[in-house]
Amino acid sequence: MRHVRAIEVAPDLDEAGVRRFERPLGLPPRFAADRFYTFPGGCVEVAFRFVAGADATLVLQADQALGFRPRQPLVDELSGSGLVLCGAGAPGCAGGD
């Protein structure tokens, strides 16, 4: 697991059921950090790599761009519109993936 050297922090309110880990890599003027989310059946890694001089508070905007929803409601919603979300909890993906 890549998050081994990361520090576990409390997840945001919209991240229920998710464990969140942070690994700072560089402070301003060149902010860099890795964030890891783990949950039953999967994980997500987010790598922040800002250009020199960028405001580190841009992390807050990035937080708003990433969210988690239970998979099954998405499978059901797409199925009702004639689309298929393949994989876990849905039909197998084309090509057997």
Domain boundaries, the chain: 2-67
pLDDT in the model for residue 29:
92
Per-residue pLDDT band at 1 (split at 50, 70, 90): low
- Residues 10-52: tens digit of each pLDDT: 888 777 788 999 999 998 899 999 999 998 878 899 999 999 9
Sheet holding 7-9, edge to edge: 7-9, 19-26, 32-39, 42-49
Say which range, 38-42, 83-87, 90-94, has the weakest mean pLDDT.
90-94
First to last CA, the chain: 22
Mean pLDDT of the chain: 83
Using CA atoms, how far apart are residues 46 and 9, in angstroms rounded to an integer?
Answer: 15
CB-CB contact of 9 with 21 (8 Å) = yes
Q: Write the CA distances from 23 to 40, 42, 55, integer angstroms.
A: 21, 19, 18
Share of the chain above pLDDT 70, in %: 86
Using CA atoms, how far apart are residues 95 and 97, in angstroms rounded to an integer?
Answer: 6
